[in-house]
Structure 1
């Protein structure tokens, strides 16, 4: 194509201002504008500022101009304690702190539009392309309109609303923007005269105050001979703006050529155009876009690539082809800002981290990861260079997939990064729709429990070994609980010192009420693989072990959204677990039950961190979900209230803290404690797990489990555990103090990773603080060797990276008719995944999860263990 004179370009960028201390929107634009040139202007909200670029004719010139103006804005704002964010929305604000800019026009807009003006906490990017006159501008606006949704998808950067909630959209800004009365793809007119008449009619209708309030996504500019693209979110990356500007200029050139030659334009109906915009706002580049030529839905990467190819003649003629084609590849690899923001929230669970990431991207200080390479394409990129030392379960020392993972990693890599990111987005949407969430302690907002797309394999021989050790450990701990709340023979025989009970916060008087053979009906055991690839027990959970529902949901989600993986023939089924749990709970019923025991799940309510699991398990088992206010006692028996009637409860699967349970009032406003303990002691009610089990969760007691196995079962431990020092013992505390920087120090009653100090990762001040605590309150802590947790390939939005993992396995204990206690290991495990660069896998610390493929080798999905021990005759 013959070279043409390049059309001029200009950009208007809108920026949010945030307080660098609180990360909240701050209404200090007037203060900042006083320090800046005329290129920066006020907007409706005083937490927003607009930048007007210079007029340029090359993409390189546009990039340089935007970067220069951003540097001035960012540096000036930082000097005043403000951060600058280029995004469609910012997820932190306090409505009372927001203010409308005090001009007559903006005050009138606030008076006329109320909620629309107050909630205009959004920012966009506008691109201007020079044309001959306003007639040309109006005509070309209609011709380019069908392609505008694709440009919106490239810019999508507003997944969160100002109150921190996830909108479920890549561009939530679009939903807010379209509420104004004069929006749409383009004005349905064919000349400047018709456009002016339409604007005049709208003003006289009273719907708008002036022509500046005509907010079509493509429109003739008000004061310059340009056509203006208004649909896009503000973009953290300058390169994204450069890409959109290059494509929009090429579109304008192509359609003006077609207009002059009489080539018919692609036309779309208003409903289809609106649907295409909705689809782009909904999923950005992480889903399908509407191909209006079809019309049909197609993967975003295909629609974007075809648009670029369509415009190649115009891009080459303007000298833009090389830049646009490279930036297109990069943006498809990196995805939208919306996807990156959601990943930032998943990693750490804090909206302030999302804001920090946006501040860094706006300032251009985020490193480019798109150029990373890896030796094996099945690992996408970024894996080998980023690999920590230690054992990787799926990748060998040469950076190649292990044989068991060949097909899995090959299938995933064949889908490609854009498709994987789209699947990841689909999984998240289903999690939100199905409320597969958790609530971090201290936070009011529930969030999705991130699921990685790469499943974890546990081979049949490994699982067989783990099963034996898990069952053995659960039975020994159960016998310890029975003993410690009766004869305390293990104390009398000197295996465990009596001071261990005195120091244990989980040792409760209520634990003595249960004399049943099983106290630990459901055990959750946390396992890790060490540097040599050997399994070790990290923790025991015998109070309210959670996670099994997420393991089941993970399998169903992965089956639904990554069916290309298929399933190994000997993969254990997770779908049978709820029925197995119900069988375990019914087996725990008091002896007086003549018919089928009545079982209920007891929850603390929707504010509980595991509310999803409570509702899920109750539904899957087909049993009632109750709260304490649904319960009372009739003739010494526990009942639940339904309307005007009551139903007996024989087994209460308690999924809340026992202190909360015992201090709660029931349906009749009577405190439950006295009647509840009497019912348990009288054999009229079973609480699973039993009250007082917290002593077996005590991290100081953990050190004695190998001795328990030998004492109660007469067996050698089949699973290793992490070497542990009890800081209450003077010699052991002194050793810990000498080696503090090498060890992991934990509170004995901690959970969720709270209070854990990992010596090699801790700062000098953190170590000093822990040293003071050990010197003054040593009985509160234990210390363990630092275990190099195994890693596993994890899709991180742009490539495959090694993340540390652990495994929570679940063991059920049963005793049929007072017979031997049997252990049943569930064929479902919850793999927890640490955030990138972290060793803490807990969800409260930004961890996620994986679908865990437990291979059974063709044997039964559950393993039963019983007998073979010399348990003392405990009353």
Structure 2
């Protein structure tokens, strides 16, 4: 007997208290008002299950799902409840679980304990009519390679227990803990499948045949093949899409059976790997493509389209091709529910916004609400874009800016860019490049589309970076003092003393000296909206003046661009810098910025900081040391604090006559006669290898958990890590431990085979000189592409600055300025010296804060 290929669906739906946004355990009350043939209880009292009638078409399935949702929504509304068809309710916590009072569920709870308590999850089950159970068992094994794609399309459970899990479908991970979940393994007949169930029941591991929770199975109660792997879908059209693909894949498998084609064998571990990968990344990551033999990771949209193409003949047979292909492209454009939930959360950092979204989508039309603004049709959308969603719709924080650029058009933007370039030339907004033929100024390019940092993001960064700055300052004082961290075995002595950034003479500085009053942190934002620290800069962090200049340029060149009311003024960093430098200086003494002069790469910044913060700008020839005091030669004023912005170490600094003025200044500092801001020896904390240990500093010195994540980093002086890295140089980022400005960085996936081979040799020759990091998918923000005449995404990072006057939380302050650095087209390297540019960074003030604004 062949397969009837009828359709049906079961949906599990959460009940949400519309006032508290929490799960509600009032399913018994709601079910008392509903038809028992279509609505039923589930394991947990926060969930209702719906069961559609059997239909023959996707249109019929859509109508059934909408009909049943409408009935449940109306019944739930009488108790002030809403309905959410998602894998996990965003605000669900372990304490929300309340067991439905039946003997069967009570037995399950007694047997499985915590496993049952975790089941605050909802799925969508699709049924396809296959009355012949032998055929159903054969089909279910042949369609296994398609299941990860269907899971990725459905993924709707990124949040669990009040936090983002990092998974698109954490429901899958929870569900797979059941002993009867996942794959059955190879089976030859329905009789063998039945014996498997009998053996499981006899073992006592499951109680009955309904507990066969395999990802796909012959139904326990209907002549159908049942898909069980998918999350609940808030948009009905996503469930319809999955049903269309599942039915077409089942029909293709049936035809293969009838034609006597051999069954493809997918080893169970590879199948499990594919399911896990789909649960982890959803439509934003890679999926395993098993076509052509060995599985390989491919971008999820490519895998979706490949499945669509492979079952096109069957979709056309059912008359579904046009509908399913349109639904697939719509799903890829808007992202799955996990993508949309994360976008809702990033906008304000509020889980209530996520709950509101999933309830509105579940209650709404099959396709969801139509976009409220025009799409950027030519924009290359990607997961992790901060300004534009996968549906090419500008996000709320960027709508006015993008509309302004649209109205300017190519001619208007070109005119503004010409004004920008003239403004920058007049003010020498540039960095200096030293080459064999001499030094020259290179324009510091500022893109005219700003980057927006939302208030809740800035608060998150403030807390995390202040914590990190305190720990680093503690570490510097400790390693050049009592060295408790070495004595307690948290760090091996050889990793610190004698490392590239270590300077033994720095132990002579006063014990209470603030070693790094100015810290810079490079951060990246991944595709999920999470911030990570990429590097710590405590020797000579640059960028404050460039960030301030970017705002001044924008105000002069595009004054009509709409600006949020909460926009903070970056120029307040000048006063913050001055007060920080003077906090440890004796009254009546002058603060001085000590520069290497016009040949320094950041000469523009040195001049601008000195002018804006009221500092004397000096070089080696401008200082004198007389009777244990540092003096400014031209004025004779005593110098209380020296902010070091040198291209050489202070201890190597000589004036024009060859006098070792740097050594003399250091001796005064060691005696307490002058404060050195960003002192010699700070390079030990700036060391790329030491970066990996900063989370340990936080735990050791502050007794806190790190608030910001770091990028996975390999210290190559460790033999085990070195061996692993040498095998993966082409997949990793490798950097010199004491490098800066992007020099020596090799991004493996973008490197040639010769470059990878050369880097392996360099690492093998001097492993302690190198670190490796996993490649981070930097977020993107639109920039104007003059060649294309439109906006296009460019990768960005962020440099933020903390000013430090001590190790207390109230003695570290995140400045209201940040520098967004922009990589060129097709690159991940953002440094200006490597062709990168910058953006004005619009930092928005947290609600209720009275701060200077522009």
Q: Shorter-chain TM-score: which interval?
A: 0.5 to 0.7
Q: 1:853–1:781: structure 2 CA closer, same or farther, 3 Å change rule?
A: same
Q: Which residue matches 1:431?
A: 424
Match status 1:618 vs 2:614: no
**Residue 832 of structure 1: CA displacement?**
0.2
Equivalent runs, 1:408-423 vs 2, <5 Å? 408-423=401-416
Of 592, 599, 606, 1:600 maps to 592
Q: Secondary structure at the match of 2:838?
A: strand
Q: Answer yes or no: is the 8 Å Cα contact 2:653–2:663 preserved in 1.
A: no
* Match for residue 657 of structure 1 among 634, 647, 662: 647
The alpha-carbon distance between structure 1 residues 557 and 379, as it changes in their structure 2 partners (threshold 3 A), is: farther
Alpha-carbon offset, residue 674 of structure 1? 3.5
Q: Report SS of the residue matched to 1:787.
A: coil
- Equivalent residue, structure 2, for 1:482: 477
CA distance in structure 2 between the partners assigned to 1:734 and 1:681 by the alignment = 43
| Residue matched to 1:404 | 397
Q: Measure, in 2, the Cα distance between the counterparts of 1:493 and 1:462.
A: 36
* Residue from 778, 791, 798 that aligns with 1:800: 791
User: What secondary structure does 2:804 align onto?
Assistant: strand
Contact 2:434 2:440 in 1 (8 A): no
User: Equivalent residue for 2:93?
Assistant: none
> d(CA) in 2 for partners of 1:859 and 1:810?
22
Counterpart contact for 1:503–1:779, Cα < 8 Å: no
What corresponds to 1:648 in structure 2? 638
Name 2:841's counterpart in structure 1: 852
Corresponding residue SS for 1:482: helix
- Cα gap change, 1:775 to 1:391, in 2 (>3 Å): same
Measured in 2, the distance between the counterparts of 1:721 and 1:403 equals 29
Secondary structure at the aligned position of 1:745 is classed as strand
In 2: Cα distance, 1:725 partner to 1:390 partner = 27
Distance in 2 between residues matched to 1:774 and 1:382, nearest whole Å: 43
Distance 1:662 1:503 in 2: 17
- Alignment partner, residue 634 of structure 1: 626
Distance apart, 1:652 and its partner CA? 0.6
C-alpha contact 1:641 1:667 (8 A) present in aligned 2: no
Residues 466-489 of structure 1, C-alpha deviations (whole Å, 9 max, x = no match): 100000000000010001111111
3-state SS of 2:440 partner: coil
Secondary structure of the residue aligned to 2:419 is helix
Q: 1:531 to 1:441 in 2, by over 3 A?
A: farther
Residues paired across the two proteins, number: 477
Cross-structure match for 2:8: none
Counterpart check, 1:826 vs 2:821 = no
Question: Which deviates further from its counterpart, 797-806 or 468-477?
Answer: 797-806
Deviation at 1:448, TM superposition (A): 1.2
CA apart distance, 1:433: 0.6
Match of 2:601 in 1: 609
Q: Deviations over 1:218-270 (max 9, x none)?
A: xxxxxxxxxxxxxxxxxxxxxxxxxxxxxxxxxxxxxxxxxxxxxxxxxxxxx
Q: 1:677 to 1:739 in 2, by over 3 A?
A: same
Distance 1:777 1:561, change over 3 A: same
Name the counterpart of 2:213: none
Q: What does 1:277-296 correspond to in 2, within 5 Å? A: none
C-alpha separation in 2, matches of 1:819 and 1:414:
49
SS in 2 for 1:802: strand
Structure 1 residues 616 and 791: CA distance shift in structure 2, 3 A: same
- 1:378/1:640 CA distance change after superposition, 3 Å: farther
Partner residue of 2:327?
A: none
Q: Is the 8 A contact 2:383 2:390 kept in 1?
A: no
- Give TM-score, length-normalised by structure 2: 0.54
- The one of 535, 541, 553 aligned to 1:557: 553
Return the alpha-carbon distance in structure 2 between the equivalents of residues 425 and 392 of structure 1. Answer: 27
User: Residue 740 of structure 1: CA displacement?
Assistant: 1.9
Whether 1:758 aligns to 2:747 is yes
Native 8 Å contact 1:571 1:854 kept in 2: yes
Q: 1:473 maps to what in 2?
A: 468
Quote the Cα distance in structure 2 between the aligned partners of 1:414 and 1:378: 13
CA contact under 8 A between 2:400 and 2:562: conserved in structure 1? no
CA distance in 2, matches of 1:669, 1:861: 51
Q: Which residue of 2 aligns with 1:529?
A: 525
Q: What is the Cα deviation at residue 666 of structure 1?
A: 3.7
Cα RMSD of the aligned pairs, angstroms, is 2.1
Distance in structure 2 (CA, Å) of the matches to 1:821 and 1:635: 36
How far apart are the structure 1 equivalents of 2:775 and 2:372?
31
Alignment of 1:451-530 (within 5 A): 451-502=446-497, 504-514=499-509, 515-530=511-526
Structure 2: how far apart are the matches of 1:503 and 1:723? 24
Q: CA–CA distance in 1 between the matches of 2:687 and 2:647?
A: 15
Per the TM alignment, residue 688 of structure 1 is displaced from its structure 2 partner at its CA by 0.6
Q: Is the 8 A contact 1:748 1:780 kept in 2?
A: yes
The reply on whether 1:705 has 2:698 as its aligned counterpart is no
User: Counterpart in 2 of 1:679?
Assistant: 668
- Alignment-derived partner of residue 339 in structure 1: none
TM-score, with structure 1 as normaliser: 0.53
What is the SS of the residue equivalent to 2:476?
helix
Deviation of 1:510 (Å): 2.9
Q: Which residue of 2 aligns with 1:302?
A: none
Q: Give yes or no for contact 2:447–2:837 (8 Å, CA) kept in 1.
A: yes
Residues 596 and 646 in structure 2, CA contact (< 8 A), matched pair in contact too: yes
5+ residue gaps, structure 2: 1-370
- Give yes or no for contact 2:796–2:821 (8 Å, CA) kept in 1: yes
| 1:767 and 2:759 aligned | no
Alpha-carbon deviation of 1:664? 2.7
CA gap 1:781/1:639 in 2 versus in 1, 3 angstroms: same
| 1:151-550 mapped onto 2 (5 Å cutoff) | 382-384=378-380, 387=381, 389-442=382-435, 444-502=439-497, 504-514=499-509, 515-550=511-546
The answer as to whether partners of 1:794 and 1:801 remain within 8 angstroms in 2 is yes
| Number of the residue aligned with 1:809 | 800
Q: Closer, same or farther in 2 for the Cα pair 1:764/1:641, shift >3 Å?
A: same
1:862 shift after superposition: 7.5
CA 1:530–1:744 in 2, change beyond 3 Å: closer, same or farther? same
Report if the CA contact (8 A) 1:537-1:721 is conserved: yes
Deviations 1:494-529 (A, max 9, x none): 111112124521101232132234211000000001
SS for the counterpart of 1:793 is strand
- Tell me the distance in 1 between the aligned counterparts of 2:800 and 2:849: 17
Q: In 1, Cα distance between the equivalents of 2:791 and 2:375? A: 6
Structure 1 CA distance for aligned equivalents of residues 568 and 782 of structure 2 = 22
Question: Is residue 2:683 matched to residue 1:691?
Answer: no
Question: 1:477 is paired with a residue of what secondary structure?
Answer: helix
Any gaps of 5 or more consecutive residues in structure 1? 1-374, 864-875
Partners in 1 of 2:497 and 2:808 — Cα distance? 32
**C-alpha contact (below 8 Å) 1:834/1:842 kept by paired residues:** yes
Using the alignment, how far apart are the partners of 1:665 and 1:830 within structure 2?
32
Q: How many angstroms apart in 2 are the aligned matches of 1:658 and 1:479?
A: 25
How far the C-alpha of 1:596 sits from its partner, in A, is 3.4
**Does the 8 Å CA contact 1:378/1:409 hold for their aligned counterparts?**
no
1:807 match: secondary structure: strand
Distance in 1 separating the partners of 2:738 and 2:636: 38
* TM-superposed deviation, 1:845: 0.4
| Shift in Å, 1:805 | 0.1
* Compared CA separation, residues 700 and 564, structure 1 to 2 (3 A): same
The 2-side partners of 1:840 and 1:378 are apart by 32
What do the CA deviations read for 1:318-342 (whole angstroms, capped 9, x no partner)?
xxxxxxxxxxxxxxxxxxxxxxxxx
Change (3 A) 1:431 1:861: farther
